[in-house]
Every structure is written in C-alpha cells, then in structure tokens.
Amino acid sequence: MATSSRKPTITSQQQRQQQTEARRGQPGPDAGEQQVRQLLSDIRLLENSARILQSRLDIISAALSETLTAVQTLEGSREASEGTESLIPIGSGSFVKARLAEPQKAIIGIGAGVCIEKTTDDSIKELRVRSSELEKARVTITNQLEQVLGQTEAYRGKLSDLVRRRGGGLEVV
C-alpha cells in the first residue's frame, strides 16, 4: 500500500497571514480584536445608511416645500379675475410679475414629464394629496433615520466598552 506524501494545500491568504504573524512574532487576531473590527465595520455601514436616508429626506423635504408653494400660489390665484397682475413664485424666493389669462385653470405635472390642464380647485386637491403622501414618506424616513442613528450610537457604546475592557486608549467618536 502506498501512502500519500502530499502536503495539505495552504491558500495564499493563509500564507500571507502566517508571514505577517512571523514578522510580528505574535499570534493572529484574538476574538476581542475581531469583535472591534466587526463593530467598526457595522458602524461604517450604519453611517452610510444614515447618509443615504438623510439624502432621501432632503429630496422629499424639497419636493414637499415645492408642492406646498404650488398650493399656496393656486389658492391665491383661485379668486382672481382674468388679467389680474400677480407675482408668481419661480423658486429660490424669486418671483415674476404676470397677468393671469385663465385663473380658473392650471397645468400640473402628473409625472414622467407629462402635464395636464385641470381646474384650479382640482389642481389644489391633487397637490394636497401629493403633499400628504410626501409628508407620510418624510415621517417614515425620519423614523428610519432615527433608528439607524440610535443603532449607530449603541454600537459606538459597545465599541467603547470593548476597547476600555481591553485596556486600549482608543476613544470612539
């Protein structure tokens, strides 16, 4: 019977780790160090999630503000007569003077670059529905953001405790 003289194969990652350990003269990372690394990784992921949620919140808040401005403008023009001079908001706190041709009609966007003409009252109703939906989305995202930020702080606390127990001088901010 022949016995196999093959050596077990070592992956290049294992080789690099062995070489690093030999250079340091120390054993590989212990469980505490692995825990620190995992917590740091989790904190980074949570911080990225928070940035994304904040970005979404900013977009929704801008859309809500724009929608509410449109409602106010339409409400102000609803009772005006034809030819009435009006200041029309164009954004960034800027206005343009204009004379209303048909104050009882408005053209509103319905999505995908498509606009339709509706009565001013119907337009106001449509925009109020939109603002209500945007407000609900804003509340939902705000709640998610608060959860992520709370979780991040909890992980930072765990990390600080772990580092303190290990005798490290690292402060987690």
Taking CB atoms within 8 Å and a gap of at least 24, the contacts of 128-133 are: 128/71, 130/67, 131/64, 131/67, 131/68, 131/71
pLDDT of res. 27: 47
Domains of the chain are 31-165 (1.10.287.370)
pLDDT of res. 87: 85
Contact indicator for 43, 155 with CB cutoff of 8 Å: yes
pLDDT of res. 21: 57
Give the whole-angstrom CA distance, residue 59 versus residue 65.
10
Give the whole-angstrom CA distance, residue 58 versus residue 68.
15
Output the CA–CA distances (angstroms, integers) from residue 12 to 9, 18, 28, 78, 104, in the order listed.
10, 10, 16, 74, 75
pLDDT of res. 118: 95
Give per-residue pLDDT as tens, 14-39.
555 655 555 554 445 577 788 889 99
Give me the phi and psi of 27, to 5 degrees please: -70, 170
pLDDT tens for the 173 residues of the chain, in order: 555 455 555 555 555 565 555 555 444 557 778 888 999 999 999 999 999 999 999 999 999 999 998 999 899 888 888 888 988 878 788 989 989 888 899 999 988 999 999 999 999 999 999 999 999 999 999 999 999 999 999 999 999 988 888 776 555 55
Taking CB atoms within 8 Å and a gap of at least 24, the contacts of 81-89 are: none
Q: Tell me the sheet residues that pair with 105.
A: 119
Secondary structure of residue 72 in the 3-state scheme = helix
| DSSP character at residue 106 | E
pLDDT of res. 73: 86
pLDDT of res. 91: 78
Residue 125: both structure tokens together? 């109703």
User: CB neighbours of 117 closer than 8 A, spacing ≥ 6?
Assistant: 105, 106, 107
